[in-house]
Structure 1
């Protein structure tokens, strides 16, 4: 099998070179016949997702130098971060306000 290279372009798309299969969330395969390389949107603003259409240049997209874990950004990790406090306990990604006392209702 031929090599596949993925290059992260500075403040731009992912450049994918080599033979790949690209499948959407519903399992539909994109026809990449005759395309030895493609660029995949990284800014999220392309009107031709998942492919890059150059919008990143027009909107001034600034990408992180490297991937950063959510907890390094001061955010809890997804999928079950524990939040403790008050009389209850919750697990999840959203803040849970403390329960109101009966006198506050």
Structure 2
């Protein structure tokens, strides 16, 4: 497994496929060529990232919400 990128507040990107052993001893497998692993523990798909680390904040009136890493 090779780590490709670690962004503060975001996921760890690694080359797949990967096998991850969780604290309870169970093993999770992902066959994708690039895997995003959650570091914030907000993901509903933990240990995989579902972009829950992004905060959504409303822009000025009439504009769509902005997405930020944080």
TM-score band (shorter)? 0.5 to 0.7
Q: 5+ residue gaps in structure 2?
A: 57-67
TM norm structure 1: 0.45
Q: 5+ residue gaps in structure 1?
A: 63-105
Question: How many equivalent residue pairs?
Answer: 59
Greater share of strand: 2
Greater share of helix: 1
Higher relative contact order (CA 8 A, sep 6+): 2
Cα RMSD of the aligned pairs, angstroms, is: 2.3
Whether the aligned pair in 1 keeps the contact of 2:17 and 2:35 (CA below 8 Å) is: no
TM norm structure 2: 0.62
Q: What is the CA deviation profile of residues 62-86 of structure 1, one whole-angstrom value per residue up to 9, with x for unaligned ones?
A: 3xxxxxxxxxxxxxxxxxxxxxxxx
